[in-house]
Amino acid sequence: MKVLELNFLTEEGKTSKLTIDQPLEPVDPAQVKAAMENIIASYVFLDTDGNPFVEAKSARLVERNVEEIDINIE
């Protein structure tokens, strides 16, 4: 499963992350940047301390692979 991680700086200089499950691919960097700027301008999201996002810091596409191991050995 892939997630798009959007990292923002808050008013206090801390990093806060939003994740988007199963983003459309290929991911367009210009669209990601525009979306992050819209998120910042909307003041809809706050960090856990109640501080708004003030700057787009980074974005990355993360893929996680999980393989179950059967431990029910007879």
Q: Give tens-digit pLDDT for 47-72.
A: 999 999 999 999 999 999 889 999 99
Q: pTM of whole model > 0.85?
A: no
Q: How far apart are CA 45 and CA 32, in angstroms?
A: 16
Q: How far apart are CA 33 and CA 11, in angstroms?
A: 19
The pLDDT assigned to 58 comes to 98
**Measured between alpha carbons, how far is residue 19 from residues 3, 31, 72, 74 in Å?**
6, 15, 35, 41
Q: Give tens-digit pLDDT for 1-53.
A: 899 999 999 999 999 999 999 999 999 999 999 999 999 999 999 999 999 99
Structural contact between residues 32 and 59, judged by C-beta atoms closer than 8 angstroms: yes
Kind and range of the H or E element at 3? strand 2-10
The pLDDT assigned to 66 comes to 86
